[in-house]
Amino acid sequence: MMKRIAVFTSGGDAPGMNACIRAVVRTAVYHGIEVYGIMRGYSGMVKGEFVKLDSASVSNTIQKGGTILKSARSQSFQTREGRQLAFDQLVNHGIDGLVAIGGNGTFTGATLFEQEFGIPIVGAPGTIDNDLYGTDYTIGYDTAVNTALEAIDKIRDTADSHDRCFFVEVMGRDSGYIAIPCAIGGGAEIVMIPETQLSTEAVIETLRSGRNRSKTSFLVVIAEGDEEGNAHEVARQVKAAIPQLDTRVTVIGHIQRGGAPSAADRMLASQIGIAAVEGLMNGMHNVMAGIVDRKLVYTPFADTIHKRKLINQSFMRMVEILNA
């Protein structure tokens, strides 16, 4: 039986992490379980940066971006000695179980740690990238997309006013999850994502054909991980091919990680925070809590790490139909 648990955030921060921490804390308190926060992820676990949390500790945090528990990389935790130190800290603080909020890097560490030391860990998918198997959406994804889309709406104003072609780079090193709704919702003519093989030549062709149909302004959304290289490089090649095109580049960047979480992210983070604690109470471990088709599911870390969540292929067709 769980008497005391700890929660931490790890990897890139995501809007809604605080809402998830809050849900973990309040759920633990609700069930009479003590709860600690570990500062700076595995790094703070190794160093013993533990903070006792209660209901009041998380008051007024649900709307805050970032993570009040902070996040950091830990070289030490990647060694057996470091993980031993981390485990000793948990023992010293009487921790029975862990809630790990983060992405695949976080869960990979958790898997190894649980294997070696047997401490039960339940994960919560906290990353803006949405590329985690085992949940339809990750915490932070909806907010990041809305932030990027608001930026794109503003860029559209200036693109239209100047008859320009804008290349907008959004986050997503390995997937087009952020790029796709930005392109569809932003009315982009073209979207370049890691999952497809759209060549710069094809982009140039599409822009040429648009110009022939008298289109004067264009928006190309590019996921940062596209193999054709980043927005600056694509823009350079396009400009070389169509010199009359007035090209501009915007890299939306880190603002996608911040800001108050959207309603959907607050709901998701709250549901998953509750599920993580109640999962631990019910003997779950080595799993990530997620929501699939509006139902709560627990997926083994091994699957979240190794299985690929494929992007809906129909979305590419939507861009073709809608933004022609």
User: Annotated catalytic sites, by residue?
Assistant: 129
- Within residues 2-41, the interface with its own copies by CB under 8 A covers 9, 13, 15, 19, 22-23, 26-27, 29-30, 40
Place of tokens 């494929």: 310
**Closest distance to its own copies from the beta carbon of 228 (Å):** 21
Minimum CB distance to its own copies smaller for 114 or for 150: 150
DSSP 12: S
Q: Which of 3, 52, 54, 63 binds its own copies (CB under 8 A)?
A: 63
Using CB under 8 A as the binding rule, whether residue 136 contacts its own copies is answered as yes
Burial (CB count <10 Å: 0-12, 13-18, 19+), residue 254: exposed
Using CB under 8 A as the binding rule, whether residue 240 contacts its own copies is answered as no
x-or-dash string of contact with its own copies, 88-127, rule CB under 8 A = ----------------------------------------
> What are the structure tokens assigned to 275, written together?
């599920």
> Alpha-carbon distance 299 to 123, whole Å?
9
Pick the piece of the chain touching its own copies (CB under 8 A) from 76-84, 97-105, 162-170, 194-202.
Answer: 162-170
> Alpha-carbon distance 104 to 125, whole Å?
9
Q: Strands 218-223 and 97-102: what pairing?
A: unpaired
Pick the piece of the chain touching its own copies (CB under 8 A) from 63-71, 74-82, 92-100, 220-228.
Answer: 63-71
Binding-site annotation, residues = 12, 22-26, 73-74, 103-106, 127-129, 156, 164, 171-173, 187-189, 213, 215-217, 224, 248, 254-257
Amino acid at 287: V
> What are the structure tokens assigned to 274, written together?
């509750």
**Closest distance to its own copies from the beta carbon of 115 (Å):** 28
Using CB under 8 A as the binding rule, whether residue 189 contacts its own copies is answered as no
Binding-site annotation, residues for substrate = 127-129, 164, 171-173, 224, 248, 254-257
> Alpha-carbon distance 65 to 248, whole Å?
30
The packing angle between helices 200-212 and 231-241, to 10°, is: 50
Q: Which of 65, 126, 210, 279 binds its own copies (CB under 8 A)?
A: 65
Amino acid at 207: L
The alpha carbon torsion through 234, 240, 245, 251 (nearest 10 deg) reads 30
- Within residues 255-294, the interface with its own copies by CB under 8 A covers 255, 257-264, 266-267, 270-271, 274, 293-294
> Alpha-carbon distance 41 to 67, whole Å?
11
Burial (CB count <10 Å: 0-12, 13-18, 19+), residue 118: exposed
Using CB under 8 A as the binding rule, whether residue 146 contacts its own copies is answered as yes
Q: Which of 54, 153, 201, 205 binds its own copies (CB under 8 A)?
A: 153
Of residues 256, 252, 289, the one with CA closest to residue 66: 256
**Closest distance to its own copies from the beta carbon of 300 (Å):** 22
Minimum CB distance to its own copies smaller for 65 or for 290: 65
Instruction: Answer yes or no: are the C-beta atoms of 181 and 153 closer than 8 Å.
Output: no
β-bridge mates for residue 38, sequence order: 50
**Closest distance to its own copies from the beta carbon of 153 (Å):** 5
β-bridge mates for residue 35, sequence order: 5, 53
**Closest distance to its own copies from the beta carbon of 89 (Å):** 20
Binding-site annotation, residues for ATP = 12, 73-74, 103-106
Q: Which of 202, 245, 251, 297 binds its own copies (CB under 8 A)?
A: 251
